[in-house]
Amino acid sequence: MKILLTGGAGFIGSSVIRQALSAGDIEIVNVDILTYAGNLDSLASVNSNPNYAFEQVNICDGPAIADVFTQHQPTAVMHLAAESHVDRSIDSPNDFIQTNIIGTYTLLEQSRIYWQSLAEKEKGAFRFHHISTDEVYGDLEHADEFFTETTAYAPSSPYSASKASSDHLVRAWQRTYGLPTLITNCSNNYGPFHFPEKLIPHVILNALAGKPLPIYGDGSQIRDWLYVEDHARALLQVISSGKVGETYNIGGHNEQKNLDVVETICALLEELAPNKPAGINNYKDLITFVKDRPGHDLRYAIDASKIEKKLGWKPEESFASGMRKTVTWYLANANWSDRVLSGKYRLQRLGEIL
């Protein structure tokens, strides 16, 4: 299998690439424009792998994407490229509309043109896998409710609305043109190489620096947390064994309040990094409650029974084990975080980490 994977320099995409290439029987063509969230440092371990290629291309650029298809002749597409930070979508929605909607449309069209040019055997084997989010479903009111693959869409933010739009486009291209598509909707990811604007790495790095740990509202918002390597394994299972036209929800079975997540991090740091910054007695003392953001959903929770029953996937990491691995990784990889926080990671060239 040769996979054209968009957004491979991002958090989830880089995890998929590292895992796929470790198997030895998959080729990856990483298509990434390298926005602020794209970090080639996260792929340093695969740069010299003969089964890996990188193309710095914008998915909104149809001719450039067409050239990538022509040059590399992939057997599958995994579409992960997306603007994904809710706060940024509230402040500046334009990039989300362009990348998540126009970019997905452009990639679908170029995939369709390429797919229709293939011989029948290759055409039958081709797959387009669109990776989405549980945020398209909106909010859950009751503790016994879960998002399923048939839950109605009710997005709350410009980010989730743009992802909902892209999901609808993928389904339309499958139903109208017959493009063999698959969709997955995942819960909140966490783990190594996570960009520091997101909650868990932001809290870890702020705590180590003795800075405030901001929590929206009272911290009662609930999310289902999915360790990124479990997610990568699920995505590779779907692209290889999923049924065309189907949607699969991927969750970690780890519902936690935001406040509990932050307190868990603080407790792990007390154990693993006891030498605190000057003037800090306990990491928990850094917790600061701030004004809640507009349209903040209260609870997300995934029913992942379909992918478990149909494809045999289930998460390997509990919240406790995954969080310990995550905190341990950040403590051991301060150079990666320092390069992100300083901006040096953006001084990147193909095959060269400056």
Nearest-angstrom CA–CA distance, 213 and 219: 11
CA distances from 209 to 119, 189, 204, 217 (A): 57, 23, 9, 23
Q: Which two tokens stand for residue 102?
A: 């126009």
Q: Is 268 exposed, middle or buried (0-12, 13-18, 19+ CB in 10 A)?
A: buried
- Kindly state the greatest CA–CA separation across the chain: 68
Please say if 134 is a catalytic residue: yes
Beta strand pairing call for 181-186 and 52-55: unpaired
Is the Cβ–Cβ distance between 44 and 67 less than 8 Å?
A: no
CB atoms within 10 A of CB 125: 12
Handedness of CA 231, 235, 240, 246 (dihedral sign): positive
Nearest-angstrom CA–CA distance, 186 and 29: 23
Nearest-angstrom CA–CA distance, 235 and 27: 15
Active-site choice (137, 159, 190, 248): 159
Which distant-in-sequence residues (6+ apart) come within 8 Å of 105 by Cβ? 169
Nearest-angstrom CA–CA distance, 105 and 93: 17
Active-site choice (41, 83, 134, 230): 134
Nearest-angstrom CA–CA distance, 175 and 146: 27
3-state secondary structure of 288: strand
Active-site choice (55, 135, 224, 263): 135
Nearest-angstrom CA–CA distance, 72 and 111: 13
**211 phi-psi bin (left φ>0, alpha ψ -120 to 50, beta other):** beta
Please say if 145 is a catalytic residue: no
CA angle 323, 326, 327 (to 5 degrees): 90
| Nearest one of 147, 140, 113 to 128, comparing CA atoms | 113
Please say if 159 is a catalytic residue: yes
The residues carrying an active-site annotation are 134-135, 159
